[in-house]
Amino acid sequence: MTAQFIAESADGAFVRQPNRFTDRITRDSTRWPVEPGRYRLIWSRACPWAHRAVIVRGLLGLQNAISVGTLDPVRDERGWRFAEPDPVLGITYLAEAYRATDPGYTGRVTVPALVDTRSGRVVTNDFPQITLDLSTEWVDFHRPDAPDLYPVDLRPDLDALMRDIYTDVNNGVYRAGFATSQAAYEAAYDALFARLDALEERLSDDRRYLMGDRLTEADVRLFTTLVRFDAVYHGHFKCNRNKLTELPYLWRYARRMFQTPGFGETVDFDQIKRHYYYTHDRINPTRIIPKGPDARAWWH
Ligand SMILES: N[C@@H](CCC(=O)N[C@@H](CS)C(=O)NCC(=O)O)C(=O)O
């Protein structure tokens, strides 16, 4: 099993592996058409990239159209594992679905993954596209009052904003945490906090969401990193200029989202901490899982 750390460049910077399966489920696809009951979303409560997909699915009311399989937060030497064999796919390791799709696959087995329940094959592990397709291709199965998370009129601004958030924040915390040179770590740290400062400024006019009064995909993407920030990234990934609770606008913004139906109930701080502190034994060799922080603040 390839470790997440392996993808490092010569200067000690963490490089994320490209997504292997990039097919799309679309309305007009002959191979992977939109079809309720056919696909299964495999996630871990620990993973921010998979967490996005589950939040978006819930906000759009796609729970009956796309089922969910939840992995154990701690991976063993064979990777992501179900505590009990998945009742729909009949597999214990997510790697089995990857191998059913590509028997020669040697890369990392990652979540989220959308799996075709008929063939057992992975359709996609392309996390940025998965959520956008839930918004744009599954419209016929959205609940009647579902939010438009990817509105056409906002797309240019939204795409630019999400690119910056991905680079400096979503992936920025990983670039800080997985850096193996001081310079690579400091560059990631500086870019992360510069971006958080800019977002803090953006939210300082009392807007509820990043784009104003409309909840969008960008908010979901930022939320899954912010909700892990103090529990994991601040300590484990050394992103410790500030805690989220010390950035007043971002903290209020994140807390409001947490308390909005569709967000807080998908967060499991214990599983998040167990996954990161236990799995990344190169940065936490003792595998001791911190007791704090006190998560009750999220409900205030
Ligand atoms: N598919 C992307 C992003 C998804 C991702 O990194 N997921 C993590 C969990 S947060 C994962 O599944 N890691 C498994 C591994 O590194 O072996 C990638 O390959 O970098």
Minimum CA distance residue for ligand 1 atom 11: 110
Q: pLDDT value at position 8?
A: 63
Cα–Cα nearest to 15, from 192, 238, 179, 186: 179
Are residues 130 and 75 located together in one domain of the fold? yes
pLDDT of residue 219: 98
Domain enclosing residue 260, as ranges: 152-299
> Is the CB of 98 inside a 6 Å radius of any atom of ligand 1?
no
Residue 90 and residue 27 share a domain? yes
Q: For ligand 1, atom 6, which residue shows the shortest CA distance?
A: 110
From the list 105, 166, 174, 278, the catalytic residue is 174
**Do residues 95 and 117 share a domain?**
yes
Active site residue 93: no
Task: Give me the mean pLDDT over the 61-69 stretch.
Answer: 98
Long-range contacts of 86-91 (CB under 8 A, 24+ apart): 86/40, 86/42, 88/40, 88/117, 89/40, 89/115, 89/117, 89/120, 90/120, 91/120
Q: Is 174 an annotated catalytic residue?
A: yes
Single out the residue in 141, 164, 183 at which a domain terminates.
141
Question: Kindly report the CA angle at 212 between 208 and 218, in degrees rounded to 5?
Answer: 85
Ligand 1 within 6 A of CB of 19: yes
pLDDT at 78: 87
Please give the average per-residue pLDDT across 277-282, as a whole number.
Answer: 93
Residue 211 lies in a domain: yes
Query: Of 83, 108, 141, which residue sits at a domain end?
Result: 141
Q: Which residue's CA is minimally distant from atom 8 of ligand 1?
A: 110
- Ligand 1 centre to CA of 204 (Å) is 33
Q: How far, CA to CA in Å, does 152 sit from each of 32, 127, 136, 149? A: 24, 20, 10, 10
Q: Which pLDDT belongs to residue 17?
A: 85
| Cα 111 to middle of ligand 1, angstroms | 6
Q: Name the residue of 110, 125, 272, 274 whose CB sits within 8 Å of the most ligand 1 atoms, as the mutation to test its pocket.
A: 110
Residue 90 and residue 221 in one domain: no
* 159 in the same domain as 136: no
> Can you tell me which atom of ligand 1 is nearest the CA of 16?
20
| The pLDDT of residue 104 is above 60 | yes
**Whether residue 127 has its Cβ less than 6 Å from ligand 1:** yes
Are residues 295 and 167 part of one domain? yes
Residues 292 and 162 placed together within one structural domain of the fold: yes
pTM of the model: 0.95
Same domain? 128 vs 168: no
Does position 240 have pLDDT exceeding 90, yes or no?
yes
Domain boundary among 87, 109, 141: 141
Give the tens place of pLDDT for each residue, 66-82: 999 999 999 888 899 99
Q: What is the pLDDT of residue 5?
A: 53
User: 164 and 285: one domain?
Assistant: yes
The C-alpha atoms of residue 164 and residue 201 are separated, in whole angstroms, by 15
Q: Are both 137 and 15 inside the same structural domain?
A: yes
| 66 and 190 together in one domain | no
Question: Is 146 inside any structural domain?
Answer: no
State the CATH number of the domain containing residue 120: 3.40.30.10
| CA–centroid distance, residue 11 to ligand 1 (Å) | 21
Q: Is the pLDDT of residue 3 over 60?
A: no
Mean pLDDT of 89-114: 96
C-beta separation of 174 from 16 below 8 A:
yes
Burial of 242 (0-12, 13-18, 19+ CB in 10 A): middle
| Contact 16 CB / ligand 1 (< 6 Å) | yes
**CA terminus-to-terminus distance, the chain:** 42
Does residue 43's CB lie within 6 angstroms of at least one atom of ligand 1? no
Other Cβ atoms less than 10 A from the Cβ of 110: the count is 23
d(CA 7, CA 297): 36
| Structure token pair of residue 191 | 């870019």
Closest Cα to atom 19 of ligand 1: 17
Q: Could you give the percent of the chain with pLDDT greater than 90?
A: 90
Residues 6+ apart with CB under 8 A from 263: 55, 223, 257
- Among the listed residues 21, 222, 56, the one whose alpha carbon sits nearest the alpha carbon of residue 137: 56
CATH of the domain at 178: 1.20.1050.10
Q: Are residues 101 and 204 in the same domain?
A: no
